[in-house]
Structure formats: structure tokens, C-alpha cells
Homo-oligomer: A and B are copies of this chain.
Amino acid sequence: MQVTIREVAKQLNLSITTISRALDGYDDVSEATRKLVVKTAEEMGYSPNRAARQLRRQRTDTIGYILPSNKPRFADPFFSEFLSGLGDAAASLNYDLLISTAPADHETEQKIYQRWVHAHKVDGFVINRVRLYDWRIQYLSYQQVPLVTLERSLDELEHPSIEVDGFNGFQTLVTHLVEKGFRRIAYIGASQDLKIQVNRLNGYMTGLTRAGIQPDPALIEEGNLTRQGGYLAAKRLLSLEKPPVAIACVNDLTAIGAMEIAHERGLVVGKDLAVVGFDGIEEAAHTQSPLTTLYQPLYEISRELVQMLVTLIVGDPLPQAHIVYTPQLVIRASTGG
């Protein structure tokens, strides 16, 4: 069994109160005893029992993240990297990271959030893939549970967040394509209720308009952020009477799927058809035609989200509650180099 505070107290002939306060660095403990206590506790291998502490403090030192998993065989590098950042940051702040998976915007998802909130399983949540109007944000705000998000919903509820500027990003992408001589540019997006979709689509439209190109609704397709979705949407686009010469994709995975069908059709990506993505996942650098994309430092972003969340939880002031990143254009062969 674990060493308890009582045993440390007995060892030193002090009260458990003193031990507790000494270890928590209160200033009403004499320096001498404090040092002694810290040393002895260390030697005895004492560390406070988590459950007891939680029960008493009504805090769990745990943050929660619920992974959207629409299909069993999901394997999205975006989430690997995101998770990795969450895990590392949490660990370094001595927090635990509690994970569950649930289909996005599904009853199951709701149940888990409610269960975790209700049972006080976590002190706060990290949320991404934000919807335009997002019940998770509404619910947690209403329940007064700390949360941070990647992207902001339109709910106008106050919470710390990080945004990656997809609107300007997509303008940049479109501008780049136009400069490379591609003008009939299609767009493959995601579900309409996703914040990133709206931002990026708007950026695409604005980019076109600013280049003097009339957006063509026939060139706007919906995918589902997966390779497969990109493949199918691109297939539809390429079967049009007047197919596009370039496709801007809401994320890299979609773009990779689009390039796949292009290759199948014998098109030379970067010449016959330009393709661009968004994310900057590692894989994008290694596709048959390396992918031009907008890079966002996801690992750093996810670490920063945790940092913000923990700051919020412990009640410290947040120097900057809203951070906006500008994604970086990485030009590769898929747009002709």
C-alpha cells in the first residue's frame, strides 16, 4: 500500500496538518520543519492519494478530450498529432488526460460529456472540430465547466480559444493557384455546420472574387475530411462536363484522396490538375505528388490549449485568451512546385 500522510507525520512526530501544509508550501510553517518534511516525504516515497485529495478539494487534476470517431478504422494523423500534444502538455503540468471516443454530434457524444461533467470526472475540456452552433460549448458554459476550443463557434460564449485563420489561408491558397495559372478552381469542403468549413469556403470564395473569377456553385463539393471523402468528391468534379483544373481541399486528407483519383485518371498532378490542402500533416510531404498545403503547428497548438485550460482551471489570469495563428503556405509539386 501507498505511504500515507499519517505515516510521514508519525515518522517526524508532527501532526498531519503540519505535513500537509509544509508540502503545500504554506508560509505558516517554519522553514526548518518545511525542509525536513519535504525531505522525509521524498525519502519515504510519499505522494498524496489522488482520490482523497479530489474528494476533499473537489478537483480532479484531469482534463478531458473526446475524440470524434465516425468509423471504427479511423486513423487520422491530424488527431494523432493533436493528441500527442495534449498528452505531453498535460503530463508536464502534472495533469491527467482522460480520453474517450464518440461519433461527432451524436447522442453518445452527449452522454459522455454529461457523464463526465456530472460525475466531476474532469476539471475541464479541450474541444476541437467546433460546429457553427455547438451544443458542447453551450452545455459546458451553462454548467460552468472550464473549456478551451480550437476554433470558435458563433455562440458568442466566452472561453479561451485558439484559431487558425482559415479565411485568409484559403485566400492565400487561391491566390497562389491563380498565380500559377490555374483559374477554374474547385473546392472540396466538409459538413456545412463545421466552423472550419465555413471559414475556409468563405476564404476560397473571397479569393476567387478578388482574382476577378466568378465562383461556380457546380465546383463546390462536400467531402467528410477523410481521404475517401476527397476521393469521391474529386471523382464527381472530374466527371463534370467542364471539370476544374485545380481543387482546393478543406484538409490534407481530402486533398490526398483527390490526388488519388487524379492519378487513377492518368492526370499529372501539378500540371493537368493542381491540388492544395490544409493542415500540413507529415504525409502530405510524401505523396506521389507532394502536396502544397497550409501548415499549422498542431502540436504546439494543442500544447498551448492545455496550458490555457489549466490556467483557467486554477483560476490564474490568462495573458491572452484568444490566439490566432496564421497558417503558412508550403509550396510543393502538387501546384507545379
Contacts and interface: CB of A to CB of B under 8 A. Distances in A.
B288 A263 contact: yes
B286 A118 contact: no
- How many chain copies does the complex carry? 2
A318 interface: no
A180 interface: no
A25 interface: no
A49 B75 CA distance: 34
Interface in A68-93: 69, 72-77, 79-81, 83-84, 87-88, 90-91
Contacts of A260: 286
A101 B91 contact: yes
Contacts of A60: 51
Nearest to A87: B101
A60 B60 CA distance: 12
Interface in A117-158: 118-121
Given A115-B47, A118-B2, A72 B286 contact: no
Given A91-B101, A98-B98, A99-B97, A74 B69 contact: no
A240 interface: no
Nearest to A45: B118
A286 B69 contact: no
Which of A50, A72, A73, A77 has the most chain B CB atoms closer than 10 A to its own CB?
A: A73
A87 B72 CA distance: 11
B87 A67 contact: yes
Given A54-B51, A118-B47, A286-B256, A101 B84 contact: yes
A69 B184 CA distance: 42
Nearest to A85: B72
Contact of A55 (B51, B121, B281): B51
A36 interface: no
Contact of A81 (B75, B81, B283): B75
Interface in A17-48: 45, 47-48
B286 A75 contact: no
A91 B281 CA distance: 29
A180 B22 CA distance: 72
Given A55-B51, A118-B45, A121-B50, A87 B100 contact: yes
For the complex of A and B, list the 4 residue pairs with the smallest distance between their C-beta atoms, beginning with the closest.
A51-B54, A75-B77, A51-B55, A75-B80
Interface of A: 2, 45, 47-52, 54-55, 60, 67, 69, 72-77, 79-81, 83-84, 87-88, 90-91, 96-102, 112, 115, 118-121, 227, 256, 260, 263, 281-283, 286, 288, 299
15 contacts: A2-B120, A45-B118, A51-B60, A55-B55, A73-B81, A75-B81, A75-B281, A75-B283, A77-B77, A87-B101, A88-B101, A91-B101, A96-B100, A227-B282, A260-B286
